[in-house]
Amino acid sequence: MSPFPAINGGTQGPPPDEVLQLIEQSLSANTRRAYLSDLAHFEAWGGAIPAKPATLATYLADHADRLRIATLVRRVTAIGKAHEARGLPNPVRSELVRATLRGIRRTRGTPQRGARPLLKEDLGLIVDALDTTLRGRRDRALLLVGFAGGFRRSELVGLDRADIAPVREGLVVTLRRSKTDQAGHGRTIGIPFGRTRWCPVTGLEAWLSSSGIESGPLFRPINRHGHVASGRLSGEAVSIIVRERAAAAGLDRRGYSGHSLRAGLATSAARAGVPSWKIRTQTGHASDAMLARYVRSGELFIDNAVSALL
259 is catalytic: yes
* Residue among 152, 153, 243, 271 flagged as catalytic: 152
Residue 217 sits at φ, ψ, to 5 deg, of -55, 140
Q: Up-side HSE of residue 269: CA atoms within 13 Å toward CB?
A: 24
262 is catalytic: yes
Residues in the chain: 310
Are 194 and 185 contacting, i.e. CB atoms less than 8 angstroms apart? Answer: no
* Residue among 93, 179, 197, 227 flagged as catalytic: 179
β-bridge partners, 189:
173
Burial of 194 (0-12, 13-18, 19+ CB in 10 A): middle
**SS3 of 158, please?**
coil
225 is catalytic: no
Return the H-helix or E-strand segment holding 304.
Answer: none
63 is catalytic: no
Q: Which amino acid is at 70?
A: A
Residue 95 sits at φ, ψ, to 5 deg, of -65, -30
Q: What is the CA radius of gyration of the chain?
A: 23
Catalytic positions are 152, 179, 259, 262, 285, 294
